[in-house]
Amino acid sequence: MNRRDFLKAATSTSVAFAVPGCTEAYRTGSSKIAANLPNFVIILCDDLGYGDLSCYGHPTIRTSNLDRMAVEGQRWTDFYAGESFCTPSRAALLTGRLAVRSGLCGDNRRELYPDSTGGLPQTEITIAKALKSKGYATCCIGKWHLGHLPQYLPTKHGFDYYFGIPYSNDMDKTVADESQIFQQPKIQYWNVPLMRNDEIIERPADQNTITKRYSLAATNFIRKNKNRPFFLYLAHNMPHVPLFTSPDFKNKSSRGLYGDVVEEIDWGVGLILETLRREHLARNTFVVFTSDNGPWLSFNDLAGSAGTLREGKGSTFEGGMRVPCIMWWPGKIKPGIVRDIGCTMDLFTTILTLASTDIPQDRAIDGLNLSPALFGKGPSPRNVMFYYRGTRLYAARKGPYKAHFFTKSAFGKDESVRHDTPLIYHLGQDPGEKYDLADRYPEVIADIQKEVIGHLRTLVVGEDQLTKRIRKR
């Protein structure tokens, strides 16, 4: 199939989603099963900042669909990614475990690259793999970034179907001069493959249309599986640079190209929610929208905003790991603003619990069940958050207080600074982490250090997957 024919098929409402190894009858399932088990949709952005949505305070980016989703559902103010970089963050989300446990974080390489030979180990249990035991249809659309070799692809980790790119959209660069390629991007500057299951179907991926194609593919999957429980994981490539948008959204946002990209993602969210409403699935579908980490501030106007938070992607300050999060389930979850602490790892435990699926008992699970906060039955059970950079614990939060044991710039060549007396910030009063209160609260330092000691005492670090790479001859 040539690119023109593929694009036509991918944007058609009649795209077939064949599930390998399953008959049509099994794919369709029964309405009884679907009625008893909820559906799950996770929409993950790449490098979207805490302050990039209008419902989180952005003055010029228009996100009407996400704003409506926040009004009808819950907008979380203190929600975190599992790490501040792509690969470890995604590993944490899908497994409910800190990436240091699976080996998908490193002190030298911080993510997987096209020459990497490592990936998410087969021994890990993803949300998709766990839900398969309950008969769920599972689909991964978008950026994977947990291993591009056949043994690590989504179809080897519980997903029936995969449509997306295997790593970041700025990889496989074809030009040496980077001075203008991000300001004036062309798809041929990055030879990134677009895959369906384990086959490359387009290279370079046409990133001008990829956000729209992802959203349309997501709605097609929903329609095809409306009569059985399903799990959809839609991980957008963007707003990670390079930034591309389809003609319908180009030059439409007063925020420029970055705003165009975010507004197209917002359009896709609206399309998905409207599909759930039209198919009478909204009241049986739990939808979460969030980001893998904070904004990549090094790219200036091509990067997002962390709002009032300090720093961005790559750092363990709040702007690197605190992310927007909107949860939506009409008629089920209690609408409102949630100021409790939550984390993407908690989605693993929450989803498995809602699907009446056993939580693995043979390994450490860091995710907690957010159901009390979702249904207005009580606060979030999460009161502690650990901030890793590679294999080192840089900071920890307990309640409103955060302690920094090490600090380092997000991408600079500076050495990490060890703080023998940790820096202490009250995140409720000082979300920008400007005013160190260590001299006032020695008891807070002692309390947080106790949590850290307990955590590290039982931590088993996984085999490093990020330094495994193809040897050059």
The residues annotated as belonging to the active site are: 86, 145
User: 3-state class of 129 per DSSP?
Assistant: helix
Separation of alpha carbons 80 and 249, rounded Å: 29
- Which amino acid is present at 211? T
User: 3-state class of 155 per DSSP?
Assistant: helix
Q: Are 74 and 284 in contact (CB under 8 A)?
A: no
Distance of CA 200 to the CA centre of its chain: 23
Tell the residue number behind the tokens 């008629």, with chain if given: 331
Nearest to 217 by CA among 471, 12, 447, 450: 12
Q: CB count, 10 Å around CB of 364? A: 13
Separation of alpha carbons 231 and 198, rounded Å: 19
Separation of alpha carbons 55 and 62, rounded Å: 9
Instruction: Please state the length of the chain.
Output: 473
Nearest to 364 by CA among 465, 458, 464: 458
**Axis-axis angle for helices 64-72, 257-278 (nearest 10):** 50
Nearest to 165 by CA among 252, 269, 240: 240
Tell the residue number behind the tokens 């496989």, with chain if given: 172
Phi, psi at residue 420, to the nearest 5°? Answer: -60, -40
Separation of alpha carbons 75 and 94, rounded Å: 21
Separation of alpha carbons 243 and 186, rounded Å: 10
Phi, psi at residue 263, to the nearest 5°? Answer: -70, -30
In 295-391, beta strands by DSSP E: 325-328, 336-343, 384-389
Element (H, E) at 258: helix 257-278
Exposed e or buried b per residue across 210-237, where buried means at least 16 C-beta atoms within 10 angstroms of its C-beta: bbbbbbbbbbbbbbbbbbbbbbbbbbbb
SS (H, E, C) 404-444: EEEECCCCCCCCCEEEEEEEEEECCCCCCCCCCCCCCCHHH
For the sheet with 194-196, list strands across it: 199-202, 194-196, 161-164, 137-142, 230-235, 39-45, 285-291, 325-328, 74-80, 336-343
